[in-house]
Amino acid sequence: MEIYLSYFGYGCFLLGSFFMVTSGVGILRMPDFFSRLHPAGISDSIGLPLILLGILFNTEFGLITAKIVFIIVFSMLTSSTACHALSKSAWLSGQEPLGKTIERKKKKIVKKIVKKKADKK
């Protein structure tokens, strides 16, 4: 039975490592701050607990196990809150998502064109 737990732990560790690497690539490839928060949140809320579960299944039961469980619970509660706080502070400081900025610029250009055509008539 112990060998199955060990293999399950290795699987969790590899899956968590996969999520961490792909979210790191996602952070580098995304165009703006708000888009980069999504992969950062994925690495915090999925990657870290999976890696810690992998460590949990490969250690003996005891005080270390309890500490790892507390770390998993604490990280899952705080990572989503931290991402939300970062996005809200960026929004309140005046930074806008990239898609919204492009749409607003297009609307302003269209309004200018319509106004110019109306002025010509």
**What are the residue ranges spanned by the domains of the chain?**
2-95
The larger pLDDT score, comparing residue 19 to residue 1, is at: 19
pLDDT average, residue stretch 5-24: 92
pLDDT-derived band at 61 (thresholds 50, 70, 90) equals: confident
pTM for this one? 0.72
Structure tokens at 17: 């490592």
Only one residue has tokens 């039961």, namely 61
Comparing CA positions, the residue from 97, 93, 84 lying closest to residue 33 is 97
Token output for 59: 């250690």
User: Computed from CA positions of residues 17, 19, 24, 25, in that sequence, does the dihedral angle turn out positive or negative?
Assistant: positive
**Proportion of the chain above pLDDT 70, given as a percent:** 88
**Cα distance between residue 80 and residue 113, in whole Å:** 43
pLDDT for 121 equals 64
What tens digit of pLDDT does each residue of 92-120 get? 888 877 766 666 666 666 677 777 777 76
Compute the distance between CA of residue 49 and CA of residue 74 in angstroms, rounded to an integer. 10
pLDDT of residue 71: 92
* Residue 27 CB partners (closer than 8 Å, separation 6+): 36, 39, 40
Instruction: Pick the closest to residue 76 from 54, 51, 57 (CA basis).
Output: 51
Return the pLDDT at 54: 93
| Banded model confidence at residue 1, pLDDT cuts 50, 70, 90 | confident
